[in-house]
Amino acid sequence: DAVDRIGLSLAAQFEHEPLRAFEDDPVERLGAILNIANSEMRDSLLAGLAEEDKAFGQRLKKAIFTFVHIPARVGPVDVPKLIRDVDPETMLIALAFAVKSGDEALHGTAEFILTNISKRMAEGLREEIAEKASIKAKDGETAMNAVIASIGNLQAAGELTLIVEDEEEDED
C-alpha cells in the first residue's frame, strides 16, 4: 500500500511541469540584455557563442535589435512617430554619433531616419549634427539605446509594428 502511494505521488509529480523562474525564453532574455549592452561587449559575446553553441548564437543574433537594425525592421512611415517620441537632444546625440562614428551601418541608419522625416526637420537636424562636437562613444551608445527603448515602447503601445526578417535572408 505504501509503495503504491509513493508511486502515485511520483507519477503525479512527473505529470506537472516545474514552474519556470522566467516567463520569457532564455534567448529573449539574453537578447533584451544585449540590446542595451555596448556594441563591443555584444559583438564579443556573440562571437564566443557562435564558437560554443552555433544554434543558440544564431537564435540570439535574431533576437537582438539595435540601432543598426532600424532600417530593416522599422517601416519608413513609423519614423516620424519615433522622432516625436524620443527626446530631441537624445535623438540629436544618437544621429550625430552615428554620422560621425565612421561606421557605415550606423551612418546608414542615421540617413534612413533623416530621409523619412520632413525635409525641413531633416535639414535642421543635419545642420545641428554638423555643428555638434564629436560625441563620446558612451554618450552615443546611451542615446542610441534610448532610441531603441522608444521603439520598444511604441511597439508595446501598438503604435509601431516591427518588420519581421525572413528566415531565408538570415541564412545567406
Task: Read off the pLDDT of residues 106-136 as tens digits, 9 standing for 90 and up.
Answer: 999 999 999 999 999 999 999 999 999 889 9
* Eight-class DSSP state of 122: H
- Residue 12 or 159, more confident: 159
Per-residue model confidence (pLDDT) at position 168: 43
pTM recorded for the entire structure: 0.74
Per-residue model confidence (pLDDT) at position 61: 82
The answer to whether the beta carbons of residues 60 and 34 sit under 8 Å apart is yes
Domain 65-172 of CATH type 1.10.220.30: yes
Asked whether residue 149 carries a pLDDT value surpassing 80, the answer given is yes
Asked whether residue 170 carries a pLDDT value surpassing 50, the answer given is no
Mean pLDDT, residues 90-108: 95
Residue extents of the structural domains in the chain = 1-64, 65-172
Asked whether residue 24 carries a pLDDT value surpassing 80, the answer given is no
Mean pLDDT, residues 39-46: 84
Mean pLDDT, residues 38-42: 82
The letter for the amino acid at 155 is: Q
Instruction: Give the integer Cα–Cα distance in Å for 103 and 121.
Output: 24
Mean pLDDT, residues 160-165: 83
Within 13 Å of residue 127, how many CA atoms lie on the same side as its CB?
Answer: 6
Asked whether residue 35 carries a pLDDT value surpassing 50, the answer given is yes
